[in-house]
Amino acid sequence: MVWDVFCKVIDNYGDLGVCWRLCTNLAAQGTQVRLWVDDASALAWMAPEAHEQIDVRVWATSTVWPEPGDVVIEAFGCDLSLEFVARMAKRHRTHRVTWINLEYLTAEPYAEHCHGLPSPVFQGPGMGLTKHFFYPGFTPRTGGLLREPGLAARQIQFDRDAWLTKTGVMTSPAQHMRYVSLFCYEPSVLPALLAQLAHGPARTHLLVTAGRATEAVKAAIHTQNTFLGNIDKHEQLSISYLPTLSQLDFDHLLWACDLNFVRGEDSLVRAIWAGKPFVWHIYPQDDDAHHVKLHALLDTLDASPTARAWHRTWNGLSDGALPALEALWQDSLALVGRAHLQQQTDLCAQLQAFVAKPTVKAS
């Protein structure tokens, strides 16, 4: 079978990251995939090793469209070209074409209610087709999460010291050093986190991802130094600013650290699979819809009071002071979530099963 996956890069490359991971999971099963993307530049660092079964194509207004594949994935409501939709409808007259809108990840109840629902097209160039809505999620009544085969085994074989040495973070075995990763937007309490790390009871090495997180940390340090002195020179805290990481090395970062601060959907899922304590920075929305989404996740994962307090404060839902950091080191949120979610069928396998159902028809 041939799958067409469509993606538009909105910001921060999170949409592209999810789509590339989906494509690699499909390709690993022997599926031929065409990834249509309007800006593929981030793949140079996100996925430097191209996959022979993934054909990356530029999605532009002047695109000359080939024959549509057997399955068309419209990622995150990115709105397909009407010309391509017309070609899908034409092909569907003689060959079944399954059209799926892959939705954003949420733990909110509507994901269960809307998962798999059809939306028939009664007019326009797509007349005769049916779009089905596919919701990733955290319960058996949703589409599950992206998880490639062999992930757990790969983590077991991971050599933390070797990876930290390779990246230049560790020059010699560090005794009693705690490692923290930081992948965030610009949380208002970031200076307070740095202050806790700098004056904590244990030595900590902070690994800061490239881009917005690096800029936020440097700005916070400048603010803190104005009041507290050279916080980044404090003997309890050392900082490494990382280059852009491939998806493979981002996993390694999460596995290497004792505590992970992550942002966006894909990194949330990878933090859960890593099984380490984590705090999620949810993408902020103007209408504060992310508040409900965050609480839904914490409820689904049965988060501890410590995890809830940290997530609320880190995401600006609480005006209080940042909770004490020490309680986070032993928080079991990721471990509990991982043990439960590993029992569910992964998203890629569920997509393939959904497509294979004879009842999933486009008319």
302 is catalytic: no
The CA-atom distances, in angstroms, between 142 and each of 213, 315, 357 are 32, 26, 16
Compute and round to an integer the Cα radius of gyration of the chain. Answer: 22
265 is catalytic: yes
Q: Distance between CA 153 and CA 149 in Å, rounded?
A: 9
**Residue of 108, 249, 251, 265 marked active site:** 265
Tell me the backbone φ, ψ of residue 100, rounded to 5 degrees.
-125, 130
| Backbone dihedral region for residue 168 (phi beyond 0: left; psi -120 to 50: alpha; all else: beta) | left
Q: Distance between CA 363 and CA 359 in Å, rounded?
A: 10
**Residue of 4, 15, 103, 232 marked active site:** 15
Q: State the alpha helices, DSSP H only, in the chain.
A: 14-28, 43-46, 82-92, 110-114, 151-156, 160-166, 190-198, 212-228, 247-256, 264-274, 289-300, 305-314, 333-341, 347-356
Could you tell me which residues come within 8 angstroms of residue 290 by beta carbon, excluding any fewer than 6 positions away? 282, 283, 284, 315
Structure token digits, residue 334 = 């990721």
Residue 317 burial by CB count (10 A; 0-12/13-18/19+): exposed, middle or buried? middle
3-state helix, strand, coil split of the chain in percent (to 5) is 40, 15, 45
Between helix 264-274 and helix 14-28 the angle, nearest 10°, is: 50
Q: Report residue 69 CA to chain centroid gap.
A: 26
Structure token digits, residue 186 = 């610009």
Q: Distance between CA 360 and CA 71 in Å, rounded?
A: 11
Q: DSSP letter at 141?
A: T
Write out the catalytic residue numbers.
15, 265
